[in-house]
A = this chain, B = another copy of it.
């Protein structure tokens, strides 16, 4: 998609077929994916693509705020980041580590709703804000700041 081309350009990232393919996959399947899953999807269309390349690119895209990274109990998960989807909520079972996605907002209400809907018990919550700290913000180019 040409949009992805432009996004990479704006962030001063080289436009490579691999990067475009990664963005394509993440934006098409708007869900949480591990680097390995992204890689397996890529291999369907591309003969040669190394797992390290996927890791490198996911990290690079995440650092630029183009995609988002979520911290799972065991592995890293990435998802396509777009303005209309600035927050993600999940419920993590402390005991079995199952992660369930949540599609509605408002913290106290969420908590009560989750408990009802999932028949579970919410013990604590973590609000994790992702962004760019002052140092990194200063290093960003004028151009790519427009995207933020």
Contact = CB atoms under 8 A, between A and B. Distances in A.
Interface of A: 62-65, 68-73, 76, 81, 86-96, 98, 100, 102, 107, 110-111, 114-115, 118-137, 139, 148
Contact of A120 (B64, B76, B134): B134
Given A94-B62, A136-B95, A148-B121, A110 B127 contact: yes
A102 B127 CA distance: 9
The 6 closest A-B pairs by CB, nearest first: A71-B71, A95-B136, A119-B134, A93-B133, A122-B131, A126-B128
A126 B93 contact: no
Contacts of A76: 73
Nearest to A100: B133
Given A73-B76, A120-B134, 6 more contacts: A69-B94, A70-B126, A86-B124, A102-B127, A107-B127, A128-B128
Given A95-B63, A133-B98, A136-B96, A87 B121 contact: no
